[in-house]
Amino acid sequence: MQKEVMTVSEVAEYLRVNPQTVYRKAKVGELPAVRIGRAIRFRRSELDAWMKESSSMLVGAGSR
């Protein structure tokens, strides 16, 4: 069963990037995140939507 709410390390593994990349992108608002106290959490459904949107932007940019 997949978790809906993910930690930074889980997101880093899911996206196959360094955890520092996840922190940096969340801090500047590039990744959809929620701060709960000192912790940062991510909804898998929002990450999936973000990836879908980001990939469609890349595909659209390549066809010009």
For 32-63, what is each residue's pLDDT tens digit? 999 999 999 999 999 999 999 888 776 666 55
Return phi, psi of residue 32, to 5°: -70, 120
Residue boundaries of the structural domains of the chain: 5-62
Query: Six-digit token pair at 22?
Result: 């996840």
Instruction: Name the residue among 47, 53, 49 with its Cα closest to residue 16.
Output: 47
Task: Tell me, yes or no, if the pTM score tops 0.85.
Answer: no
Choosing among 3.40.50, 3.90.105, 1.10.540, 3.40.449, the CATH entry for 5-62 is 3.90.105
Position 28 confidence tier, pLDDT thresholds 50, 70, 90: very high
3-state secondary structure 7-38: CHHHHHHHHCCCHHHHHHHHHCCCCCCEEECC
